[in-house]
Homo-oligomer: A and B are copies of this chain.
Amino acid sequence: MTDSPVSRFPVPELHDLPDDIRTRILEVQEKSGFVPNVFLALAHRPAEFRAFFAYHDAIMDKSGNLTKAEREMIVVATSAPNQCQYCVVAHGAILRIRAKDPLIADQIATNYRKADITDRQKAMLDFALKVSREAYAVNDDDFAALERHGFDEEDVWDIAAISAFFGLSNRMANVTSMRPNPEFYGMGR
């Protein structure tokens, strides 16, 4: 499908894929103008592909108090210390677009404490990082701190789920050496 390396594992040809996966890939290609490599890399394992994107859609496309840009902030802020090139670059692009802010992704990836975001968003990212680094220590105080910023219990689940899910994604991307498409680097700047 492409000459450039996408993953250290085999990448299937589109015509060899199950219909539902091929359809999803063609849809994202039509919408984005290219196929993000995560779709190709994970298509090597169709059952995992389906579960992965079902999980992704369940937490990233759902309604709730978190905006779409805020969900992407969580992805970028937690993926950076996990040193996941794919997620930082690809979701950094999506964050710039969702937030309509060309600077925000690099700020959050480097040090979200110094980013041009609200105190509420910093509290959200503090918690997302705690889930990523030491979820075993999450306690009532964390829920109370988020509540003071207007996050209800369902929002807390959302933040935790996004942090936890992209922790999985970061690990698979690093093990498979999944490469971000060159298109992502400049999007939204």
Residues in A lying within 8 Å of B, measured CB to CB: 9, 44-45, 47-48, 50-52, 54-55, 57-59, 62, 80, 82-85, 88-89, 92, 102-103, 106-107, 109-111, 113-115, 131-132, 135-139, 153, 156-157, 160-161, 163-165, 167-168, 170-172, 174-177, 179, 182, 185-186, 189
Contact = CB atoms under 8 A, between A and B. Distances in A.
Nearest to A53: B51
Contact of A48 (B55, B85, B163): B55
Contact of A84 (B50, B136, B175): B136
Q: Which of A48, A160, A167, A171 has the largest number of chain B CB atoms within 10 A? A: A171
Contacts of A55: 48, 51-52, 55
B58 A157 contact: no
A111 B136 contact: yes
State the copy count for this chain: 6
A84 to B, nearest CB: 7
Contacts of A167: 164, 167-168, 171
Contacts of A164: 167-168, 171-172, 175
A155 to B, nearest CB: 12
Contacts of A57: 47
Nearest to A111: B83
Contact of A82 (B136, B163, B185): B136
Q: Which of A88, A89, A136, A153 has the largest number of chain B CB atoms within 10 A? A: A136
A58 B85 contact: no
Contact of A110 (B84, B161, B177): B84
Contacts of A47: 54, 57-58, 62
**Which 8 A-B pairs give the minimum distances between C-beta atoms?**
A83-B136, A51-B55, A47-B58, A164-B171, A51-B54, A83-B111, A135-B174, A135-B171
